[in-house]
Amino acid sequence: MRVIINEPLVVKRSTWGRRIMTFGFVILVLAALLSFNRLTLVQAYAVMLAGLIILNVGLFVGGKWMRKPRPDETLDKALKGLNHGSRLYSYLLPADHVLLSPPGLYVLTLVFQDGQITAQGDKWRRRLGLTGSLRALFEPRLGNPSREARNEAAKVESWVRARLPDANVPVQPVIVFANPNARLQLEEPSVPAIALADLKAHLRAALKGKPLPQATLQALTDLCDEQAA
């Protein structure tokens, strides 16, 4: 499997994330200094709130870009040895992670939350203990992974259809839980949802499906490579 990553974007976003987080920490230090003076105690709380907001913005902007390993590195490691005809595009196409394979495209939506995660159809819940709940205040919310995955797949599908209107290219969304501490209880999720450790086996089975016509696959590969250039 070949991995193609938008490295300049990774550097740019991670740099901005670090800058915003550093600014947030500076604001929090200022709030701590103000808190030592009774006359500025009220201002200290206001400055502290501003610092927390800025810090969270930095975490949101730069979280996935500064994470070690990054999402693209996580997928690269998990999918090593997958079908040699496959290509993984990260941060280059309309969705963050798109796997090009002989049967079509797989849009991989990564979820990094831990804890007890349940799904019934299209309804998702995350249960955490007290410590986890406090930590979750500084993390992105679980939200609705099914909706997010479908939206990403729809963007890719529209992008392909606009450029290859005569090609019939299947676009399959897949939710990938990348945190090994996520405990999954899934009841007929509306979108396939898989632990990272099981992703390669799932895709290997899927790649045994009917391949695209060679001309369509070549046109699709050329399109993705052109976008990645």
How big is the chain, counted in residues? 229
Q: What is the mean pLDDT of residues 12-23?
A: 89
Q: Which residue's entry shows tokens 């610092």?
A: 51
Whether 95 has a pLDDT exceeding 90, the answer reads yes
Domain co-membership, 82 together with 154: yes
Give the pLDDT band of residue 133 (cuts 50, 70, 90): low
Domain co-membership, 88 together with 158: yes
Q: Mean of the per-residue pLDDT values for the chain?
A: 89
Domain co-membership, 224 together with 173: yes
pLDDT tens-digit series, residues 51-76? 988 988 887 777 778 878 888 999 99
Domain co-membership, 198 together with 85: yes
Task: Work out the burial of residue 109: count CB atoms within 10 Å of its CB; fewer than 13 is exposed, 13-18 middle, 19 or more buried.
Answer: buried
Domain co-membership, 47 together with 148: no
Domain co-membership, 107 together with 12: no
- More confident position, 213 or 139: 213
Cα distance between residue 104 and residue 220, in whole Å: 9
Domain co-membership, 111 together with 15: no
The confidence score (pLDDT) of residue 63 equals 72
Domain co-membership, 38 together with 150: no
The confidence score (pLDDT) of residue 122 equals 86
Q: Number of structural domains, the chain?
A: 2
pLDDT tens-digit series, residues 140-192? 678 899 999 999 999 999 999 999 999 999 999 999 999 988 888 888 888 99
The candidate with the shortest Cα–Cα distance to 63, out of 75, 53, 71, 51, is 71
Domain co-membership, 95 together with 38: no
The candidate with the shortest Cα–Cα distance to 143, out of 124, 162, 115, is 124
Task: Work out the burial of residue 98: count CB atoms within 10 Å of its CB; fewer than 13 is exposed, 13-18 middle, 19 or more buried.
Answer: buried
Domain ranges, residue 221: 71-228
Whether 129 has a pLDDT exceeding 80, the answer reads no
Instruction: Among 66, 101, 121, give the residue marking a domain's end.
Output: 66
Domain co-membership, 118 together with 7: no
In the numeric block, which tokens belong to residue 210? Answer: 């009917």
Cα distance between residue 48 and residue 34, in whole Å: 10
Q: What is the mean pLDDT of residues 22-33?
A: 93
Domain co-membership, 56 together with 76: no
Q: What percent of the chain has pLDDT over 90?
A: 58
Instruction: Among 11, 46, 66, give the residue marking a domain's end.
Output: 66
User: Model's pTM, two decimal places?
Assistant: 0.84
Instruction: Among 29, 49, 66, give the residue marking a domain's end.
Output: 66
Domain co-membership, 10 together with 117: no
